[in-house]
Amino acid sequence: MTVGLLFISCVAMSTLFLSMALYVAMAIFLGGMGWRIYRWIRTPVPLKIVLTPGPQKFPGVLRRLVGELFGFRALAKADRSLWTPAWLFHVSLLLLFLGHLGGLVIPHLAQTTLGLNEKQFEDMAQVVGSAVGLLAITMLVWLLIRRLLLPRVRWISTFSDYFALVLLLLIIATGNAMRFMGGLNIIQAQRFVAGWWTLHPVAPPRDPIFAVHLLLVCALLIYIPFSKMVHIGGAALFSPTLNQRNNPRQQRYVNTWEKNNGNSTASS
Amino acid sequence: MEIPQLHPDAAAGVQAYRAKKELLAPLGLPPELPPDWREKALCKFKELLQQRRSLSLYMDICVRCGACTDKCPFFLGTGDPKNMPVARAELMRKVYRHHFTAAGGVSGRWAAGEELTDTVLKEWFTYFYQCSECRRCAVFCPFGVDTAEITMAAREIMASIGVAPKYVTEVIKKAHETGNNIGIPEAAWIDSCQFLEEELKAQTGLDIKIPVNQAGAEVLLVPPSADVFVNTDTMMGYARFFYAAGISWTTSTYASEAANFGMFLNYDQLKKVNLRMLDAARQLGVKRLVMGECGHAWRAAQAFMDTLNGPLDFLAPPCPEHICELAARYIRTGRLKLNKSANDGLTVTYHDPCNLARAGGLLEEPREILRAVVNDFREMPANTIREKTFCCGAGAGLLTDELMPTRMNGAKPRMEAFRTTGATHLAVPCAICKAQFPVAFKHHKIEAQVVGVMDLLGRALVL
């Protein structure tokens, strides 16, 4: 048993396995998202179905989409007690993404851009990373409790809703564990990431939590395109109720599938 | 409005009467459920997924956050969880996941997919005819997921296998046969208009005309046919307005109906019913097309008419124009003489019909008119008006007796909002709302009357 676990963890932490897992997951993620977004764009929008307030001109539409994308404005109108954890969670997720990018993928560029020395940069990463990591996990727990306790939301919840929350919880928990337990060698992590994305994989940090963290991220990447998580592709941007201009009387709007397929009235 | 506890299946027993073959066949629908209905329905589902981005996107992106769960009037009125917009959409999504996604195929029940079975079909027919396509939920959705799009698609799929309500198909059949939804023949239409002219003469002493089929008139007014027979004050309001404004106008017996019940069944009928208005306009050689007080008619005309049967370049812009837009324009430019005190004694509040408020945003014009013609005008609470307005409870083909429990429950949020104003009159520019509210007032024990916006304008006009 112990030998078996040891063997599995050795394999899991080996250079090849972790790097390959991440390559495969990333390929599935990019391919899957590309395919999904391509399908949305390709599907015609037969009629004007824009919702009030429907801006008449493009700058108005842009403001509306930016407001939805970055401010979750419709959600704010719907329910403040949902908007608060949802918005804070998404903001912390964005910051964590930027933090990983700056701290692991382009550390030197990030450091010089911010005009900090190595010590200051690490201190900043420590403070901001810890705060955001805690914020993210608090909001996730809030959202999970809400889903479990509010009867209406619990009624509509499916396995996939809990799975997504738990997966994210585990990813952020393992991330926080590495930061707070001080087990991670950040230099090794940077080398691993640099090697990975320049296609010259090197050995990952010898830390089992790192391996678990990374494998969970791989699972998430694979899960996203095939689940509700696909909404990170910018769902609101493609939504006709939000991205159309309200000008059907000013500018003729043509139903493209009908134009291509002939008149539906005649064919039926 | 208090949010109810969940009462599973509270509304499960309320179902529309099914159309039989004499109603289905004339609309080009299968006269009965075909033996291979499941394949046919899935085939239609697939076709719609490829034709409508709204549908394919809204099947994919809902995160079940729950923002919409307390927004639907039918949920607020019944507590039936399947009337929560997200749950209603899930009735369709579960079939989508099972039949059209990789996850549904691979992981089965874990993906919350479900096969299209008799039980599911029955559930669809129940709950997609307890949605009034009012789109209130969409206003609060972070992705703009529009349940009306999902309901319309589900209804279209059902129609393609001969599953449709008696009421909606009957109305469309009448619209094709007589030009209007009530089934009034030409002679009766002419008769009624003459009767209203006499009524106007008695009221004002003036020869105010309600012209029928008058070629060469400037404006073709397409009212909901109920205005000629039931809401006659609204019809006389139009006539008084056109008289005061000095606009030559006409009604048409070929297109004597603004309402387009095709929207509640399928795209094919939406288009065919819509075409009648344009054919009438061409035939009569009018210059402009004006729509009367009808909610979904406005959505179908304003947002869809040009796309469905355009171009509309033979008519002057804005085409079509809403009667409230036209009247507000005349008030704004000082071309009407008004006596507000004619409506004294009435305390008036305004109900935004869903399709005026949320599709196209016709929010200000009716209010401009009301402020100009009523001294005591007050609004209902802010979260129940404008784009957040509550449906009357009878839109999208629900205005039929067998759905009465759903209708009365669906009206509850609107009734409660109305009660807070202390108003005596509820002004509403929509024929379906006008048919629903008197019944709802009685059911919810409210003493008040329903009026059209143009009724109140008509009364205040100095002729």
Q: Is A267 a domain residue?
A: no
Rounded to an integer, what distance in angstroms lies between the CA atom of residue A95 and that of residue B321?
Answer: 49
ipTM reported for the complex, 2 dp: 0.94
pLDDT band for position B1 (50/70/90)? confident
Q: Is A265 a domain residue?
A: no
Q: What mean pLDDT is reported for chain A?
A: 91
Rounded to an integer, what distance in angstroms lies between the CA atom of residue B146 and that of residue B62?
Answer: 11
Share of chain B above pLDDT 90, in %: 96
Q: In this model, does residue A268 exceed pLDDT 60?
A: no
pLDDT digits (tens, 9 = 90+) for B257-271: 999 999 999 999 999
Count of the separate structural domains present in chain A: 1
The answer to whether the Cβ–Cβ distance between B54 and A240 falls below 8 Å is yes
Q: Which domain holds residue A49?
A: 2-247
pLDDT digits (tens, 9 = 90+) for A129-165: 999 999 999 999 999 999 999 999 999 999 999 999 9
Q: Is B44 on the interface with A (CB under 8 A)?
A: no
Q: In this model, does residue A267 exceed pLDDT 80?
A: no
Q: Is A264 a domain residue?
A: no
Q: In this model, does residue A58 exceed pLDDT 80?
A: yes
Q: What is the pLDDT of residue B5?
A: 96
Domain limits of chain B?
A: 21-164, 179-332, 340-460
The answer to whether the Cβ–Cβ distance between A249 and B318 falls below 8 Å is yes
Sign of the CA dihedral running B206, B212, B216, B218: positive
Q: Is A105 a domain residue?
A: yes
Residue of chain A with shortest Cα separation from B134: A51
Share of chain A above pLDDT 90, in %: 74
Q: Which CATH class is domain B340-460?
A: alpha beta
Q: Is B100 on the interface with A (CB under 8 A)?
A: no
Q: What is the pLDDT of residue B102?
A: 79
Please report the residues numbered 353 through 372 in chain B whose beta carbons come closer than 8 angstroms to any beta carbon of chain A: 357-361, 363
Please report the residues numbered 249 through 278 in chain B whose beta carbons come closer than 8 angstroms to any beta carbon of chain A: 267-268, 271-272
The answer to whether the Cβ–Cβ distance between A74 and B68 falls below 8 Å is no
pLDDT digits (tens, 9 = 90+) for B386-422: 999 999 999 999 999 999 999 999 999 999 999 999 9
Q: In this model, does residue A266 exceed pLDDT 60?
A: no
The pTM is what?
0.95
Q: What is the pLDDT of residue B150?
A: 98
Please report the residues numbered 136 through 165 in chain A whose beta carbons come closer than 8 angstroms to any beta carbon of chain B: 147, 150-153, 155-161
B21-164 placed in CATH 3.30.70: no
Q: Is A40 a domain residue?
A: yes
The answer to whether the Cβ–Cβ distance between A257 and B319 falls below 8 Å is no
Q: Is A253 a domain residue?
A: no
Here the CATH number for the domain that contains residue A182 is 1.20.950.20
Q: What is the pLDDT of residue A265?
A: 43
Count A/B contacts: CB-CB distance under 8 Å: 199
- Among the partner-chain residues B56, B111, B363, the one whose CB lies closest to the CB of A43 is B56
Say which residues have a Cβ less than 8 Å from residue B435's Cβ, sequence separation at least 6: B226, B230, B394, B399
Q: What is the per-residue DSSP string for A122-181?
A: HHHHHHHHHHHHHHHHHHHHHHHHHHHH-HHHHHH--HHHHHHHHHHHHHHHHHHHHHHH
Q: Is A101 a domain residue?
A: yes
Please report the residues numbered 222 through 241 in chain A whose beta carbons come closer than 8 angstroms to any beta carbon of chain B: 226-228, 230-231, 235-236, 238-241
Q: Which residues in chain B touch residue A238, judged by CB atoms under 8 angstroms apart? A: 53, 57
- Among the partner-chain residues A147, A159, A252, the one whose CB lies closest to the CB of B110 is A159
